[in-house]
């Protein structure tokens, strides 16, 4: 049977202008083509709920198909499909409980100190802050420490291997663009071509880092509160229970995805948030008052409960994630034929499904005056006035972001540390409206994002 979505709609999706195009397409409920491949563009929050959660059994995968022999670091939670994904998700879920987050909180404070020192240096020199780079070093150090058990020293050592490799992996690499394109358009070819999507030297670096951490811990009886330890404990438990333990490569792959998925998403959120606060001084003052008050109640310290309990900070971060969701789109693949409720439209097995997070987040029906930065939208008295599934920065359902708690914790902690010490102002030549770099999957500003700061 011909897929009715294919037959009815032939909108062309211009990947170069993806962000703007998605907003435009948002209003045309239906499907698009990627070359010859039909894609169902889901725009109704009720249908999003069916696809992401209620009828998840039809849409369990993202349609990634890699040759894991050639790309062993690619066999991580984000890419895995079917049973392999389910087993890994069950194993990793206990890694992100609030108890585990609390144990890692001091590492975040430690990694924040060099960030404050760097900002202070620039304030003394009356120089502008390249904020993407500064918060990128902070989140690299946090994730490097928690996911690999290593001190990355991104501030002291600008050539730090972690920072350098992170930059390369998330830059607009042609090979990666081709991989994404093939993944949707010719997935069978992607599986067959002998291409390494992660350069060999970077793979060697990450696998070598994990191996040496594992060796160091076992020969010196070192125990730390971090992700590597949790993965190692799991390996031991599987051995004791007579189950197949994770291999070193599987452990390395999970640490790798925590690193890749964890540092840039939080650092772009922090930099866009500081940009908004620089242009909205009233919001910045209100937020700083909350931070100062919370610290006073905790003997002048930032604590895990203090940071996570701040309601206005939560509103500011959620509003930032609404305007600048790091991943502007969610992907799912239909595993078997699925008829959309109350319609005669059937998505055939193999149809890609796109959910435009950006489109939902800028829909005037749910967010009046969507360009305006209004943290009050996320206060208790307002947030229930919208339908569910209209705020999706972390996705939803069984395949949502497993690291959302950690991402929120590092973002909020870094912001609270900065705003407690400094006032941020727009940098030279910066305009309020941001131009995004369409070549990078994660929403990123084209060029630098500059701020000025003042000591309080
Ligand atoms: C502000 C921070 C972050 C944002 C906005 C974010 C966003 C997302 C989104 C949108 C997805 C796809 C969800 C879906 O398809 O429904 C995702 C998946 C994922 N994220 Fe995050 N993320 C963040 C931080 C993190 C951190 C800190 C980690 C790890 C430490 C992490 C690890 C992952 C993993 C492993 C997946 C794949 C989950 C699966 O397929 O089962 N993320 N994230």
The answer to whether the CB of 394 is under 6 A from ligand 1 is yes
Q: For residue 167, what pLDDT is reported?
A: 76
Give me ligand 1 centre to Cα 82, in Å.
18
CATH number at residue 215: 1.10.630.10
Give me ligand 1 centre to Cα 324, in Å.
15
Q: For residue 160, what pLDDT is reported?
A: 78
Give me ligand 1 centre to Cα 78, in Å.
8
456 residues of the chain, pLDDT tens digit each: 333 333 333 333 333 344 455 556 555 545 666 666 778 888 788 989 999 999 999 999 887 666 777 788 888 899 898 998 998 899 889 888 999 899 899 999 999 999 999 999 999 999 999 999 999 999 999 988 888 777 777 887 777 787 888 777 766 556 556 666 666 656 666 666 666 677 888 888 889 988 988 888 888 888 888 888 888 888 888 889 898 888 889 899 998 888 888 888 999 999 999 999 999 999 999 999 999 999 999 999 999 999 999 999 999 999 999 999 999 889 999 999 999 887 777 888 988 898 888 888 988 889 999 999 999 999 999 988 999 999 999 999 999 999 999 999 999 999 999 999 999 999 999 999 998 887 777 888 888 999 999 999
Q: Is 111 annotated as a binding residue?
A: no
Ligand 1 pocket: which of 86, 138, 394, 398 to mutate (most atoms <8 Å of CB)?
A: 394
Looking at the structure of the chain, the number of domains it has is 1
Parent domain of 96? 4-455
3-state secondary structure the chain: CCCHHHHHCCEECCHHHHHHHHHHHCCCCEEEEECCEEEEEECCHHHHHHHHHHCHHHCCECCCCCCCCCCHHHCCCCCCCHHHHHHHHHHHHHHHCHHHHHHHHHHHHHHHHHHHHHHHHHHHCCCCEEHHHHHHHHHHHHHHHHHHCCCCCCCCCCCCHHHHHHHHHHCCCHHHHHHHHHHHHCHHHHHHCCCCCCCHHHHHHHHHHHHHHHHHHHHHCCCCCCHHHHHHHHHHHHHHCCCCCCCHHHHHHHHHHHHHHHHHHHHHHHHHHHHHHHHCHHHHHHHHHHHHHHHHHCCCCCCHHHHHHCHHHHHHHHHHHHHCCCCCEEEEECCCCEECCCCCCEECCCCEEEEEHHHHHCCCCCCCCCCCCCHHHHCHHHHCCCCCCCCCCCCCHHHCCCCHHHHHHHHHHHHHHHHHHEEEEECCCCCCCCCECCCCCCCCECCCCEEEEEEC
């Amino acid at each position: 049977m011909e897929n009715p979505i294919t037959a009815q709609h032939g909108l062309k999706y211009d990947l170069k202008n993806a962000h703007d195009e998605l907003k435009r397409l948002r209003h045309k409920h239906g499907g698009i083509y990627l070359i010859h491949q039909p894609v169902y563009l889901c725009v109704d929050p009720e249908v999003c709920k069916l696809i992401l959660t209620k009828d998840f059994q039809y849409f369990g995968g993202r349609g990634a198909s890699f040759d894991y022999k050639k790309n062993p670091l690619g066999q991580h939670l984000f890419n895995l499909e079917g049973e392999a994904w389910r087993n890994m998700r069950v194993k990793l879920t206990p890694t992100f409980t609030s108890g585990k987050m609390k144990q890692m909180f001091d590492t975040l404070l430690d990694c924040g100190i060099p960030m404050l020192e760097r900002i202070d240096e620039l304030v003394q020199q009356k120089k502008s802050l390249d904020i993407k780079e500064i918060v990128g070093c902070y989140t690299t150090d946090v994730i490097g420490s928690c996911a690999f058990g290593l001190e990355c020293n991104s501030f002291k050592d600008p050539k730090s291997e972690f920072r350098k490799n992170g930059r390369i992996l998330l830059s607009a690499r042609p090979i990666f663009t081709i991989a994404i394109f093939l993944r949707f358009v010719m997935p069978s070819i992607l599986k067959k071509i002998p291409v390494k999507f992660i350069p060999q030297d970077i793979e060697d670096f990450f696998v070598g880092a994990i191996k040496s951490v594992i060796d160091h811990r076992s020969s010196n009886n070192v125990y730390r509160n971090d992700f590597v330890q949790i993965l190692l404990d799991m390996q031991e438990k599987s051995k004791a229970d007579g189950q197949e333990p994770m291999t070193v490569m599987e452990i390395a792959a999970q640490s790798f995805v925590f690193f890749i998925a964890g540092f840039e998403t939080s650092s772009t959120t922090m930099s866009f948030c500081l940009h908004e606060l620089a242009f909205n001084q009233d919001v910045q003052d209100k937020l700083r008052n909350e931070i100062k008050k919370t610290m006073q109640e905790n003997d002048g310290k930032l604590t895990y409960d203090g940071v996570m309990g701040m309601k206005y900070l939560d509103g500011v971060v959620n509003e930032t994630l609404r305007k600048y969701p790091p991943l502007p789109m969610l992907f799912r693949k239909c595993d078997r034929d699925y008829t959309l409720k109350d319609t005669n439209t059937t998505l055939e097995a193999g149809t890609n499904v796109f959910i435009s997070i950006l489109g939902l987040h800028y829909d005037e029906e749910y967010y009046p005056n969507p360009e305006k930065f209004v943290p009050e939208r996320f206060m208790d008295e307002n947030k229930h006035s919208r339908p569910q599934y209209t705020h999706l920065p972390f996705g939803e359902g069984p395949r949502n972001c497993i690291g959302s708690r950690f991402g929120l914790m590092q973002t909020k902690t870094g912001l609270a540390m900065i705003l407690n010490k400094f006032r941020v102002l727009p940098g030279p030549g910066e305009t309020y409206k941001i131009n995004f770099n369409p070549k990078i999957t994660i929403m990123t500003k084209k060029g630098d994002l500059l701020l000025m700061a003042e000591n309080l």
